[in-house]
Amino acid sequence: MSSQIVFLTHLILGYVPWLLCFGAFIWPRLKAMDHFDAQRAIAALHSFRFFGLAFLLPGVVGPNLPDGFATFAAYANFATGVLAMLALLAVRIRPLFWLFILAFNLVGVADIAVDFYDAVRVDLPAVAGELGAMYAFPIIYMPLQMITHLAAFYLLARSRSNALSSFAGDAAASQIARH
């Protein structure tokens, strides 16, 4: 089997165990949690994305890893991790916390989307061995990142609709109380 097929197989199959694990163990707990606490848990996971800077370290990655992939992947992961850390630091200032939650999820999803685009553009599967020690990053860690970003957006949308419903209910109760 060629290295390209092995890499693509790993990339696709990387999602399967995470989806199974997420569906069985993580998602039920996140859904049951207060949305604030669930977002904190997701932010804590993403705060480790500073590790993506290793895409720039010679010896960790091979010398022929395309810059068109490595540089953006490194700095976008770093930015996502810093934004997630800022969200965690801002837990006592709720509006700022929610701003950082939204920001790290938007930047994180954009990072993964651009990384996929860049990987296709530079034919990363043909040089997958150049990922070196970072080979595990797109295979093991990136699927969990994407899954948790999608969960975070779902929870954000759900909490927003709940907040709007609550606001509408409060407004209706206020109107009834006046009459």
Write out the two tokens for 35: 């949305």
Give the residue among 154, 136, 129, 151 at the shortest CA–CA distance from 65: 129
What percentage of the chain exceeds 90 in pLDDT?
A: 84
Confidence of residue 166 (pLDDT cuts 50, 70, 90): very low
The whole-number average pLDDT for the span 118-143 is: 95
N- to C-terminal Cα distance for the chain?
Answer: 76
122 vs 174, more confident: 122
Four-residue CA torsion sign, 155, 159, 160, 165 = positive
The whole-number average pLDDT for the span 124-145 is: 96
Q: Supply the pTM of this predicted model.
A: 0.87
67 vs 167, more confident: 67
> What average pLDDT is seen over the chain?
91
